[in-house]
Amino acid sequence: MLNWRRVCARSPWNISLRGENLMSRHALRLVGAEPEHTPVSAEPSSADLAREAARLAEIAASFALFGLRLDDLSEAAWRVEPADAGYRVGQAAHVAPANDPGHTFPPAKARAPRLSPEFPSRLLQGLDWMFVLVVAELAALWSTGGGLATLAIGQAAGFLAAALALKVGLWLTESYRQTLARARPERTIGGLALGVIGGILISNFAAPDARAAAALAAILPVAAMVMAGVHAVLSILVAAAHKRGAFSESIVIVGATEAAARFATRATRTGEANVLAIVDDRKGRAPASISGAPVAGGLSDLLAWDGLAYVDRIVVAVPPSAEARVRTVVKRLSALPNRVDLLIDIDAHSVRGRGAQRFAGAVVACVSGRPHHHRRALVKRVQDIALASAALIALLPALLTIATAVRLQGGGPVLFRQRRVGFNNRAFTLLKFRTMEADSKTVTSIGALLRRYSLDELPQLINVLRGEMSLVGPRPHEPHMKAGARAAEAILADYAHRHRVKPGITGWAQVNDCRGAVTSPAALRQRLRFDLDYVARASLWFDLQIMARTPLAMWKGPQRRTAPRRVS
């Protein structure tokens, strides 16, 4: 929480102001702060002081409302600037007149999976490490007739040290700190040139002999030219992908405010986000579009929009000082599986707190849903692909045997396809072995056996490889699922939260004996407790524990426990 008295107690506490002042010298004095190099102005009116005091209270409320705080109060880390300083892009945001046609959502449209903005840089660094090993290996082969593996440790280290100079040169020129979409080739070329010079110097001292030093001196410049070409080609490809939106999040902004206009303009210009729509319940006062994004109705229209499944993030641009309104909006949006952020309309460089981060040049605080963890998502995806592929290969004889038995008994197709709800409420086609007669709802004898031991779920390994499911997660339910005669959403307001992660073949509820059909509201509540417990605690280690317990759970009947059990 931002404590102004604590902030002002720090001495000296300078505030840097650029452009239009956020608050006047007199308003700052009211809280014990002193602006640096600000000329003394005439005494302001009481109305001016009231407006500035209200703005100051709004900033404080922005941080206090959801537990944000400023941990670093040094001058370098904390600056108060105009609210639009982080959004200035050379032109004003375009706001369409209010009488233009609009207030409609764009059609729901599936999009290709979004790539992490860090992926190109990490890929490039991985390729450069490969180049280092290749250069050292080629120099060793040329000079000694054998690879690095055949040399003594000291000799191999000499080749590696000279080749590593290429990477060091790129580090020193900060080539990896620039985004590939806006890469500066002079940095890369300069870094590689520096690396070649350093590598040749190192080879004169660390190479095993003169022949090895000569080999490195010949190979390093060629390798540097090849690396520069790879950097250039990858930059072109990344820039093209960036223009197509491969790295941008699809977002919806709630609140047709000035802050929303600045944020939408900045997000669109930087390519970090694609603003699908802006939502505001005050349709009569809201314009038809802001910065090219349509103002598409109110909050109820958003909740009913079928395109929500393809929204990565919802940003609330309602001023946090309007606490009652913000809490109402967040409460209604919390029923969605999508991440919901609160826009903090101030350029503070040391914001800390629950889920706080910088996004599209602004500070946002996650108030519902889990923050994105791209690294963990990548690790989980690699885990899913590796283990699902291994399981398909290992179980191939069993799968063929089951498929033959299903085909011979009752006729009809081997696989049963059904629409289910997955991540972010996105529908997908779930695969199972058919367990009923082709022309009736009678369960076959082989189908009963498959259901008893959950073997009918094995084809979902294909869903995992497609990216529609994970090995571990809440089990996918049918769209508009009912427990008894009531819809699941009507029974439990938190039901949609289970869709904040991918559905799984097995899950925390299943290894705790919550298996089979959900036939009553009580059974739904019990299963949801386990599902939400998993969503809150999901981790690689937790997934491994659930997978280890799954084989035993498959051989047990569908019993039900009363509460989630914790594991160490």
Distances (CA, A) of 244 to 237, 264, 271, 379: 11, 18, 9, 26
Name, in order, each residue with C-beta under 8 angstroms of 241's C-beta and a sequence gap of 6 or more. Answer: 115, 247
Q: Are the beta carbons of 436 and 442 closer than 8 angstroms?
A: yes
- Distance in Å from the first CA to the final CA of the chain: 32
Is residue 46 packed enough to be buried (19+ CB in 10 Å), middle (13-18) or exposed (0-12)? exposed
Residue 402 is predicted with a pLDDT of 93
Structure confidence at residue 463 (pLDDT): 94
Residue ranges per structural domain of the chain: 4-70, 85-105+250-371, 119-243, 375-554
Give the pLDDT of residue 535. Answer: 83
Of the candidates 552, 490, 482, the residue with the CA atom closest to the CA atom of residue 523: 482
The pLDDT assigned to 111 comes to 64
pTM of the model: 0.55
Secondary structure element (H or E) that encloses residue 316, with its range: strand 313-316
Q: Look at residue 48 in the predicted model and tell me its pLDDT.
A: 64
Tell me the two tokens of residue 413.
Answer: 């197709």
Domain 85-105+250-371 class? alpha beta
Kindly write down the DSSP assignment for every residue of 192-248, as one continuous string: HHHHHHHHHHHHHHHSSSHHHHHHHHHHHHHHHHHHHHHHHHHHHHHHHHHHTTTTP
In order along its 568 residues, the chain shows pLDDT tens digits of 444 444 343 333 333 333 333 333 433 343 343 444 434 445 556 666 666 656 555 555 554 544 554 444 333 333 333 333 333 344 444 444 444 444 577 776 666 667 777 778 888 888 999 999 999 999 999 988 888 988 888 889 999 999 999 999 998 888 887 665 566 788 889 999 999 999 999 998 888 889 999 999 999 999 999 999 999 888 888 888 877 777 788 889 998 888 888 888 888 777 778 888 888 887 666 777 787 888 888 888 888 787 887 888 899 988 766 778 888 888 888 777 788 888 876 654 445 555 577 787 787 888 877 666 666 777 888 899 999 999 999 999 999 999 999 988 867 889 999 999 888 778 899 999 998 887 778 888 898 899 888 899 999 999 999 989 999 999 998 887 777 667 776 666 667 778 778 899 999 988 888 877 777 888 888 888 898 888 878 888 899 999 999 888 877 655 444 444 443 3
Report the pLDDT value the prediction gives residue 244, as an integer from 0 to 100.
73
Enter the tokens of residue 106: 């764009």
Say which residue the tokens 């605080």 belong to.
365
